[in-house]
């Protein structure tokens, strides 16, 4: 009976573990196998795939183009994570202080941005930044006296990524705001009132009260944002179709797509994908382990 009781939790976890193994584990195994093979278009149609060991990884890690894309992706993700976390936290704090009616109105607006498909969001923002009839160029020219008529936001990498950052941050802030707002509602009112009676300012209450209580929430949200922003694909690929220079604006997600489907080198694409999996797993493990240690 004791053994049966000890197996009870594992029995309840088994369905979830089985689903994860089927959905994530099996594709990951195939990805590992493919990354050690010379796998091209011929292999897709049944030709045998020669085993090349770690040659794909060696080539990728020695490729200057990969490192240029990698550094660009890390910098782009860092900017997006900082902006998203900052704005999302400010929106959550503002919602916590709002009246119920105004809070519902803000939450409805956030849900619209969050629920909008990524491709649709890119199309809408692409119209706004359009070179010929975009409202952004018109507003900057008519209301601010700047000569932006006919200006192309996608021709230069810096302005291209600025537009991409606006789109990604706009769609990512709602998740951060809702999550942190939910955490704010779990802080005991007695603790807040005690801090206010002690004369703590709003900044002091946030640093010494809110952050310690919500540290696990911040850790999880930051980890998810890093993963999502490192593997961003739809927004970058769609913006490139509106005029972006692919060679200078590709991030890791787009680069893997171009290597795999564009060049037909699935083995190389698998190697790059596996490097991303290891990187993201290491980041997740670090943040989760750090959170558990601080909670203990």
String of DSSP letters for 52-102: -TTHHHHHHHT-HHHHHHHHHHHHHHHHHHHHHHHHHHHHHHHHHHS-HHH
Give pLDDT, residue 241: 87
- Domain range list for the chain: 33-65+252-296, 76-250
Give pLDDT, residue 77: 94
User: 167 φ, ψ to 5°?
Assistant: -65, -50
Coarse DSSP helix, strand, coil percentages of the chain, rounded to the nearest 5 percent: 80, 0, 20
Give pLDDT, residue 287: 73
Q: 3-class secondary structure for 17-42?
A: HHHHHHHHHHHHHHHHHHHCECCCHH
Q: What is the pLDDT along the chain (296 residues), one digit of tens a residue?
A: 666 666 777 778 888 888 888 888 888 888 899 999 988 888 888 888 889 889 999 999 999 999 999 999 999 999 999 999 999 999 999 999 888 899 999 999 999 999 899 999 999 999 999 888 889 998 988 888 888 888 889 888 999 999 999 999 999 999 999 999 999 988 888 888 888 887 778 888 888 888 888 888 898 899 889 989 998 999 999 999 888 788 889 999 999 999 988 888 899 999 999 999 888 888 777 777 776 676 65
Give pLDDT, residue 294: 64
Q: Which fold has domain 76-250?
A: MetI-like fold (1.10.3720)
How far is CA 242 from each of CA 75, 209, 262, rounded to the nearest angstrom?
A: 23, 46, 18
How far is CA 147 from each of CA 80, 140, 141, 142, rounded to the nearest angstrom?
A: 28, 8, 5, 9
Give pLDDT, residue 1: 62
Give pLDDT, residue 121: 92
Specify whether the CB–CB gap between 87 and 169 falls below 8 A: yes
Cα-only R_g, the chain: 24
> Can you give the pTM of this predicted structure?
0.87
Give pLDDT, residue 5: 67
Written as six digits, the tokens of 17 are: 């573990």
Give pLDDT, residue 263: 80
Give pLDDT, residue 90: 94
Written as six digits, the tokens of 39 are: 């796998």
Q: In whole angstroms, what is the distance from residue 68 CA to residue 118 CA?
A: 25
């Amino acid at each position: 009976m004791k053994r049966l009781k000890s197996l009870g939790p594992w029995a309840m976890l088994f369905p979830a573990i089985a689903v994860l193994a089927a959905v994530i584990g099996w594709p990951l195994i195939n990805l590992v196998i493919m990354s050690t093979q010379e796998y091209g278009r011929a292999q897709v149609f049944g030709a045998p795939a020669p085993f090349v060991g770690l040659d794909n990884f060696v080539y990728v890690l020695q490729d200057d183009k990969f490192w240029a894309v990698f550094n660009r992706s890390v910098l782009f993700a860092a900017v997006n994570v900082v902006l998203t976390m900052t704005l999302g936290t400010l929106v959550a704090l503002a919602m916590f202080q709002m009246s119920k009616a105004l809070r519902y109105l803000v939450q409805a607006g956030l849900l619209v941005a969050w629920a909008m498909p990524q491709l649709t969001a890119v199309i809408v923002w692409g119209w706004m930044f359009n070179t010929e009839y975009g409202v952004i160029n018109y507003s900057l020219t008519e209301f601010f006296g700047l000569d932006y008529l006919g200006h192309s936001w996608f021709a230069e990498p810096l302005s291209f990524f600025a537009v991409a950052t606006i789109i990604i941050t706009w769609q990512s802030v709602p998740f951060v705001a809702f999550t942190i707002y939910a955490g704010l509602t779990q802080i005991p009112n007695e603790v807040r009132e005690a801090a206010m009676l002690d004369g703590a300012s709003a900044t002091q209450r946030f640093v010494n009260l809110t952050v310690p209580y919500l540290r696990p929430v911040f850790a999880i949200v930051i980890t998810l944002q890093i993963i999502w922003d490192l593997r961003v694909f739809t927004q970058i690929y769609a913006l490139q179709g509106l005029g972006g220079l692919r060679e200078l604006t590709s991030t890791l997600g787009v680069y893997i797509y171009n290597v795999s489907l564009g060049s037909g080198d699935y083995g190389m694409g698998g190697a790059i994908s596996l490097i991303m999996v290891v990187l993201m797993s290491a980041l997740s493990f670090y943040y989760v382990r750090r959170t558990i240690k601080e909670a203990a």
